């Protein structure tokens, strides 16, 4: 607490020192195994993960020794938020070389960079500033380390999922026939925000944007668009062609709500289908199939099972019930995954997909989202968040796994 500039409320929850030290050690061990001399982290979320602060900075983590957190703004706040021991002011990136010299990091040969997110301009500056250093992509490595959650992180996601549940319970009492998708979307945001949602969801993928909620009533839910998700929605403008459209709640039409919360940096991500009246028979069967898929996977997934095997099992069940052409979208909109890792970003590892051979491991947290889309009609399905334990899956999301009747 530095005078009256920063006065943290007791609810402003800093990342524990032990957590940061553990993460830095993990990164250093991994870098040693990869013959890296260190890593320069530029992306704010990676910096937060390894330092506990999201203040504007560059983080250098040597393969052994103290990391250097070099802060452009705000230094005072970074010093209060981060438990790292070397926190220094940085007057822009060109002040980086003398700092490295001061700390005797002059013999670096091979270092890691986040090439999936670091802008080319920054990369070219780095190559010009350090012409003798080989900068290799460590994003897959970092995402691999971040994939296994600590007890602290699992607790954050649990708390996040509790707010998501509150969203469903509250909105269930507010939905009326004729309400617009936009109005429901706004209400879901305000319920989450009042209960601690940070206001933004984070996605790492290039050019991708993550909305707080996707609310679809009826046919708009089956619209195909640019998102890597089974339900894109129409949106209300080509300038953001996803999410709530101009639809309104209509009796006997599925109300699909894919809703997330970012609590203290950690995302939960849940989908439920709601209804006033009753689903058409085909949609009811598809919704039941989604529930069966989750039941079977909750029962059968164990550490060691390959991600692609999980995807295949779900796909087989959908095919057996005649829904192959609707599983995870339809036509051009069909996506080839069933789930995705969750943490500080909503597109973390693992991906539960054909191309992901990786086995499921204890400490992973991911969403599974069996969904069925019918052109001209709408989309139904469910999504829940799971922790992998030694025994199998533990569900972290709390809302009952049923078609929610209004």
Nearer residue to a second copy within complex by CB, 166 or 293: 166
- Which member of 83, 144, 241, 363 binds a second copy (CB under 8 A)? 241
Q: What is the 3-state secondary structure (H, E, C) of 293-326?
A: HHHHHHHHCCCCCEHHHHHHHHHHHHHHCCCCCC
280 binds a second copy (CB under 8 A): no
Per CB under 8 A, contacts with a second copy among 312-341 are 331-333
CB of 378 to a second copy, least distance (A): 11
- Which member of 91, 106, 376, 391 binds a second copy (CB under 8 A)? 376
- Measured CA to CA, the distance from residue 87 to residue 79 in angstroms comes to 6
- Which member of 1, 120, 151, 390 binds a second copy (CB under 8 A)? 120
- Name residue 257's beta-bridge partners: 215, 272
What kind and span of H or E run contains 44?
A: helix 44-51
- Measured CA to CA, the distance from residue 213 to residue 200 in angstroms comes to 11
Contact of 336 with 263, CB cutoff 8 Å: no
276 binds a second copy (CB under 8 A): no
Per CB under 8 A, contacts with a second copy among 34-53 are 42-44, 48, 52-53
Contact of 32 with 13, CB cutoff 8 Å: no
Residue 23 in tokens: 């993460």
223 binds a second copy (CB under 8 A): yes
- Which member of 173, 178, 238, 281 binds a second copy (CB under 8 A)? 238
The DSSP result for 67-118, as a single string, is: -EEEEEE-HHHHHHH---SEEEE-SSGGGHHHHHHHTT-----EEEE-TTTS
- Which member of 67, 218, 221, 235 binds a second copy (CB under 8 A)? 235
- Measured CA to CA, the distance from residue 397 to residue 199 in angstroms comes to 20
Distance of CA 327 to the CA centre of its chain: 22
- Which member of 167, 231, 245, 254 binds a second copy (CB under 8 A)? 245
**From 98-106, 221-229, 274-282, 314-322, span contacting a second copy (CB under 8 A):** 221-229
**From 59-67, 115-123, 379-387, 391-399, span contacting a second copy (CB under 8 A):** 115-123
- Measured CA to CA, the distance from residue 217 to residue 181 in angstroms comes to 7
13 binds a second copy (CB under 8 A): yes
Nearer residue to a second copy within complex by CB, 249 or 317: 249
- Name residue 276's beta-bridge partners: none
Nearer residue to a second copy within complex by CB, 98 or 332: 332
Nearer residue to a second copy within complex by CB, 187 or 274: 187
CB of 133 to a second copy, least distance (A): 14
Per CB under 8 A, contacts with a second copy among 133-192 are 137, 139, 180, 182-183, 185-187, 189-192
CB of 50 to a second copy, least distance (A): 13
CB of 159 to a second copy, least distance (A): 11
193 binds a second copy (CB under 8 A): yes
Contact of 100 with 85, CB cutoff 8 Å: no
CB of 64 to a second copy, least distance (A): 26
Determine phi and psi for 379, rounding to 5 degrees: -135, 140
194 binds a second copy (CB under 8 A): yes
For the chain, the distance separating the N- and C-terminal CA atoms, rounded to the nearest angstrom, is 48
343 binds a second copy (CB under 8 A): no
Sign of the alpha-carbon torsion through 68, 69, 75, 79 = negative
Contact of 241 with 173, CB cutoff 8 Å: no
Per CB under 8 A, contacts with a second copy among 72-91 are 73-77, 81
Q: Could you tell me the CA-to-CA distances from 79 to 16, 87, 88, 97 in Å, in that order?
A: 14, 6, 9, 22
Q: Could you tell me the CA-to-CA distances from 76 to 5, 24, 56, 140 in Å, in that order?
A: 8, 22, 12, 32
11 binds a second copy (CB under 8 A): yes
226 binds a second copy (CB under 8 A): yes
CB of 206 to a second copy, least distance (A): 6
- Which member of 1, 151, 200, 390 binds a second copy (CB under 8 A)? 200
Nearer residue to a second copy within complex by CB, 211 or 294: 211
Bridge-based pairing of strands 255-263 and 266-275 is antiparallel
302 binds a second copy (CB under 8 A): no
92 binds a second copy (CB under 8 A): no
């Amino acid at each position: 607490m530095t005078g009256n500039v920063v006065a943290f409320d007791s609810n402003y929850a800093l990342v524990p020192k032990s957590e940061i030290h553990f993460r830095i050690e993990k990164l250093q061990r991994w870098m040693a195994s990869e013959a890296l001399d260190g890593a320069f982290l530029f992306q704010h979320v990676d910096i937060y993960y390894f330092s506990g602060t999201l203040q504007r900075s560059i983080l250098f983590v040597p393969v052994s020794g103290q990391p250097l957190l070099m802060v452009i703004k705000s230094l005072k706040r970074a010093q209060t938020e981060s438990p790292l021991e070397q926190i220094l002011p940085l007057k822009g990136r060109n002040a980086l070389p003398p700092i490295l010299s001061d700390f005797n990091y002059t013999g670096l040969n091979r270092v890691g960079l986040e090439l999936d997110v670091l802008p080319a301009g920054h990369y070219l500056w780095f190559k010009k500033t350090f012409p003798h250093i080989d900068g290799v992509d460590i994003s897959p490595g970092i995402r691999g380390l971040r994939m296994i959650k600590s007890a602290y992180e699992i607790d954050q996601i649990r708390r996040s999922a509790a707010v998501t549940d509150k969203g469903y319970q509250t909105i269930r009492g507010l939905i009326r026939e004729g309400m617009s998708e936009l109005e429901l979307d706004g209400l879901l945001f305000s319920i989450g925000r009042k209960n601690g949602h940070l206001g933004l969801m984070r996605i790492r993928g290039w050019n991708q944007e993550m909305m707080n909620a996707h609310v679809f009533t009826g046919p708009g839910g089956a619209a195909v668009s640019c998102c890597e998700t089974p339900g894109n929605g129409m949106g209300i403008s080509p300038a953001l062609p996803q999410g709530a459209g101009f639809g309104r709640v209509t009796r006997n039409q599925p109300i699909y709500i894919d809703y997330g919360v970012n609590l203290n940096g950690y995302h939960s991500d849940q989908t439920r289908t709601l209804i006033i009246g009753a689903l058409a028979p085909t949609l009811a069967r598809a919704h039941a199939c989604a529930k069966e898929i989750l039941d079977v996977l909750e029962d059968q997934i164990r550490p060691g099972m390959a991600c692609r095997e999980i995807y295949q099992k779900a796909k087989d069940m959908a095919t057996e019930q005649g829904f192959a052409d609707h599983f995870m979208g339809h036509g051009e909109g069909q996506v080839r995954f069933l789930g995705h890792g969750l943490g500080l970003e909503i597109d973390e590892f693992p991906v539960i997909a054909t191309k992901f051979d990786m086995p499921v491991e204890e400490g992973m947290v991911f969403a599974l989202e069996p969904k069925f889309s019918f052109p001209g009609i709408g989309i139904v399905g469910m999504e829940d968040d799971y922790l992998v334990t030694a025994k199998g899956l533990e569900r972290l999301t709390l809302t009952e796994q049923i078609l929610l009747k209004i």
